[in-house]
Structure 1
């Protein structure tokens, strides 16, 4: 399944993007296990205060590791270059499609908006310009949409990229089946892939989504409208949205927190509590990892993500005590665990529990209710 705003690759572009996909799979499945073995041989053993950091530093003296890390980074750069070529070739027509989108929802941009420090000049995931590029038209959103599908290897809902939004719905069905929001909000909506299925699930609700990038929001608004979904997109900061107190019944995020900072996560929790009406629910979906529970190599991989894939907050987000953060913000009945990834819209098959089934099979979720 696809949608009208998705940039279409020609034969050569598709071949290049498939090559990038296959290269990434090869580096992960065939080469990475060798790096794991090298890392484990360098392990100073239990009791060392910084085992992962020690091993990570030692690995940089190993040519095989430096080669793997360098090729891995190059594959990411090649991904974005191949997708950029696809989008740039169609940029005028994509802008035209955005302007011709059905009159559904709204778009509110702030010419004086200040991007958070942790996103300014941050090319997250090595995507040129990152999320916050204040560019004309819809190019940045189009790059993220097609690039995200290739980057996730099609395992986040294919070209719809809506697997995380579907999983948020799975969590609501599993833990808050009584919730029928009149107004709902997504923080850090990106291209709007997650807000669309949530808005569709609650057709009588007013759906709002915020992000920091103007180009991203133009694309998200056009994308949702072409899919027949009314969403009000607003340029705003998740730490201080500017909306009125107690003005939403559901506030959620989908893979936002690991793109922020440790300090921002605390402020976002407080903002969610301020925004919710009594009885309202907050849901934060994140990568399915808890740092302290990871084996040595996976902790080393966190350092690789930090240095080679521009993920400075990955460790902070996976180490945070979300039960404590939500409780400190004023929430009760915290649910901390892992939600099965929703496949083919089957919410009933998505279960919530204490164990992760692995990347792309589960998502970490922290949720709570305001009383």
Structure 2
């Protein structure tokens, strides 16, 4: 597959849901609304904080707001913040609805397409797998049914919904293939471990494979694997990878405990997985990574930055998702310290690392806000990568 040349639109592969003109216009409206909220409306929150909320806090508390929790206390009843927050949440619900409609209309065809094509890679599902409570107790990021819910036999619906929704949510700024997080992680690895040549690579929480596929080209001699707890997203991921000629081995597994052999992988990656797991789960996942890695192997996770690296106001804005976007573990995941968690999970803390890596997809069409804030995933133009070496 040649690299996409149209940077303004999502790459059209064999199983991407088709849209009528009205459906496409609806989705483009949501994308434009999200960008307007991020680039024009959100900035008014800082004015509200500086000009009104911070002063009221200081008068009531007898001191200036210092932490993100202070900022939250100051802003939680502010009319402008509540106005922006309501619009932001509504845009999220509009996004899911706009992507569900065309998928529902053509679901039968999408299922048929997912079973077509020459075999490439593999797909292994486990009907007995128990979906962890941190997924089935809440619709993560307001996505109806999450990654795992099946509405019909051989379902691919939520994979198809997620594929298109991510492009709208990121406002096109993760590239035509939604692969920016994977591409950026690879760039970090290439820059910092130029002689590293993994034989087997595992992407944990791969969903539809947006960030999985780039590893096939980046490390052409490696076998690439992807796991997720959701069968619908894996069926779709397999079909999408097949249509692009990318041989990836997908299997339905919980990253906390997999069925791979000890030391099977040289590289384990995840892309925005950590904030969707619990405090206990991420530690179980890291212990599993230690078991699965060969000597000298690397585990690397990509997320948005930790709160400790941000001013209190910016940390408060980035934390919006914790309370407003069905992301209950978002906040705690942004307080992780790589050295500490490495020490807890069997790694030598001296091999732990943390870094900001500039986004690999930097194009004029991306129109990044260059600010880390709620409802603007990746808008800061960098990803925070952390991990350890065994």
TM-score, scaled relative to structure 2: 0.86
Q: What SS does structure 2 have at the residue aligned with 1:30?
A: helix
Give the corresponding residue for 1:313: 329
Segment of structure 1 superposing worse, 39-48 or 89-98? 39-48
Give the corresponding residue for 1:83: 99
Segment of structure 1 superposing worse, 137-146 or 298-307? 298-307
Give the corresponding residue for 1:18: 28
| Match 2:160 to one of 133, 142, 150 | 142
Q: What SS does structure 2 have at the residue aligned with 1:119?
A: helix
Q: What SS does structure 1 have at the residue aligned with 2:123?
A: strand
- Give the drift of 1:50: 7.5
- Give the drift of 1:219: 0.3
Q: 2 CA distance for matches of 1:132 and 1:35?
A: 36
Q: 2 CA distance for matches of 1:334 and 1:66?
A: 39
Q: Are residues 1:157 and 2:168 paired?
A: no
- After TM superposition, list the pairs within 5 Å mapping 1:59-208 onto structure 2: 59-136=75-152, 137-158=155-176, 160-208=177-225
Are residues 135 and 107 of structure 1, via their aligned partners in 2, closer, same or farther at CA, if it must alter by over 3 Å? farther
Give the corresponding residue for 1:42: 53
Alpha carbons 2:95, 2:169 under 8 Å: kept: yes
- Give the drift of 1:72: 1.2
- Give the drift of 1:322: 1.1
Are residues 207 and 214 of structure 1, via their aligned partners in 2, closer, same or farther at CA, if it must alter by over 3 Å? same
Alpha carbons 2:351, 2:388 under 8 Å: kept: yes
**What CA RMSD, in Å, does the superposition of the two structures yield over aligned residues?**
2.1
| Match 1:256 to one of 273, 276, 283 | 273
Segment of structure 1 superposing worse, 263-272 or 358-367? 358-367
- Give the drift of 1:171: 1.3
Give the corresponding residue for 1:361: 381
Q: 2 CA distance for matches of 1:298 and 1:317?
A: 16
Give the corresponding residue for 1:4: 14
Are residues 307 and 278 of structure 1, via their aligned partners in 2, closer, same or farther at CA, if it must alter by over 3 Å? same
- Give the drift of 1:135: 4.0
- Give the drift of 1:344: 7.7
Alpha carbons 1:302, 1:314 under 8 Å: kept: no
Q: 1 CA distance for matches of 2:186 and 2:68?
A: 35
Q: 1 CA distance for matches of 2:49 and 2:279?
A: 28
Q: What SS does structure 1 have at the residue aligned with 2:351?
A: strand
- Give the drift of 1:51: 4.0
- Give the drift of 1:359: 3.4
Q: 2 CA distance for matches of 1:60 and 1:365?
A: 30
Q: 2 CA distance for matches of 1:51 and 1:343?
A: 32
Q: Are residues 1:239 and 2:249 paired?
A: no
Q: 2 CA distance for matches of 1:84 and 1:251?
A: 32
- Give the drift of 1:360: 4.8
Segment of structure 1 superposing worse, 73-82 or 301-310? 301-310
Q: 2 CA distance for matches of 1:267 and 1:279?
A: 20
Aligned pair count reads 356
- Give the drift of 1:230: 1.0
- Give the drift of 1:106: 1.2
Give the corresponding residue for 1:337: 355
Segment of structure 1 superposing worse, 118-127 or 185-194? 118-127
Are residues 298 and 138 of structure 1, via their aligned partners in 2, closer, same or farther at CA, if it must alter by over 3 Å? same
Give the corresponding residue for 2:374: none
Give the gaps of 5 or more residues in structure 2: 5-10, 364-377
Q: What SS does structure 2 have at the residue aligned with 1:129?
A: coil
Give the corresponding residue for 2:39: 29
- Give the drift of 1:54: 4.1
- Give the drift of 1:327: 3.5
Alpha carbons 1:21, 1:151 under 8 Å: kept: yes
